[in-house]
Amino acid sequence: MARKFLYVFAFLIALVIAGAFAYRLYGVEILRMALVPSEAFRAQPRVDPKRYDDRAMWIARPDIPANPALWTPAGYTPEAKPKAAVFFIHPTSYIGRDHWNATLDDAETNARAAIFLRGQASAFNAAGEIWSPRYRQATFGAFLTSVADANRALDLAYGDVAAAFATFVGQVDPKRPIILAGHSQGALHLTRLLREQIAGKPIAKRIVAAYVVGWPVSKTTDLAALGLPECTRADQARCLLSWESFAEPADPQQITDVYDQTQGFDGRPRRDTPLVCTNPLTGTADAVAPAAANQGTLYPSADLSSATIAPGKVPARCGPRGFLLIGEPPEVGSYVLPGNNYHVYDYSLFWANVRADALRRLAAFGAKR
């Protein structure tokens, strides 16, 4: 099920690296030929959670020098003593076809992951200390095929995430609130983490919010299994947020065609079910907000190493089915995907609002306790 839906999202991150132009010319087939691994999946032992005691196993951790998650645009600074701890699962950054899963010491893959942390995880550095593990992520090509090896690659990747989370929980003060966040492949692993490691367990009481961004969550078939309700108020804690960004005219058919063939976490079909749509400008469900409500969008540099921030540029409204519509296409970079899909920019479009949202929910969580 997860593999089938990842098929849709596979090309999204690949286009960040390979370029949207090549996709528009040649489509998924050429990407499949170029990026699906030719070797058989190689079974690997599960990683011992104790390995994550080593800070080299983390892209971001409070004691790592030059932590990419501490980046901020001009006018913002990380909080010196944030109250929460943030567990952030980065999206796909491995595009090799030599293996089904990335190696943990792949310098190029890790450098790409650091770019994602600067543009995404950094939004949380006022609310919490950010922990983001290296993990043997499934390669991009695994999302372009239906072979069983693709599912094995995803399962291996999740095993690393779960091991890292166990270490994270063991090292963070047990009284400290926790924020969970991810994007794309990272958000997929977050849904499994919520189901298997958090829902119905004592640690659930410490969860401020879960940001399942760039991955669909069906209100009808998925939400109950995740153990957190949809965030319907801006000052609500212990809830889940999710959105997928499209400029208009939006064409999400490449997503819905596959999504509607899958089954939800409760075993029922997802066909025609509404998605959780949190408007990041308001922090509420199924809402509409003008560009004036946007506190700051990141505009990345050409090499993605930095960004400037500008308020009041991008509106947002939850449209039919639950996709987040952002009006006319904003000029935030060259990695816009077919159908006016702004998946790559799900966090950066609303960076300052996400930052404020995390702080607001953390305050509400503290007040509730």
| Cβ density class 128-152: b for 16+ within 10 Å, e for less | bbbbbbbbbbbbbbbbbbeeebbbb
Distance in angstroms (rounded) separating the CA atoms of residues 150 and 133: 21
**Number of structural domains, the chain?**
1
- Domain holding 319, by residue range, is 2-368
Which residue type, as a one-letter code, is found at position 246? F
Burial class of residue 77 (count of CB atoms within 10 Å of its CB; 0-12, 13-18, 19+): exposed
Element (H, E) at 318: strand 316-318
Position 35 scores a pLDDT of: 62
Position 19 scores a pLDDT of: 46
Distance in angstroms (rounded) separating the CA atoms of residues 96 and 52: 24
pTM of the model: 0.90
What does the radius of gyration of the chain's CA atoms come to, in whole angstroms? 19
Q: What values do phi and psi take at 42, rounded to 5?
A: -105, 115
| Residue 124 near residue 358 (C-beta atoms within 8 A) | yes
Taking the CA atoms of residue 47, residue 48, residue 49 and residue 53 in that order, the dihedral angle to the nearest 10 degrees is: -100
Position 34 scores a pLDDT of: 56
List alpha helices for the chain, DSSP H: 2-18, 20-35, 107-119, 148-171, 185-193, 223-226, 253-259, 351-368
Per-residue pLDDT of the chain (369 residues; tens, 9 = 90+): 444 444 344 444 444 444 444 444 445 555 565 566 677 667 788 889 899 999 999 999 999 988 999 999 999 999 999 999 999 999 987 677 677 777 899 998 899 899 999 999 999 999 999 999 999 987 765 556 555 567 787 888 999 999 999 999 999 999 999 999 999 999 999 999 999 999 999 999 999 999 999 999 999 999 999 999 999 999 999 999 999 999 999 999 878 887 898 899 999 999 999 999 999 999 999 999 999 999 999 999 887 778 999 999 999 999 989 999 999 999 998 888 789 999 999 999 999 999 999 999 999 999 876
Position 338 scores a pLDDT of: 82
Which residue type, as a one-letter code, is found at position 283? G
Residue 310 CA: distances (Å) to CA of 78, 291, 297, 336, 349: 18, 11, 5, 19, 10
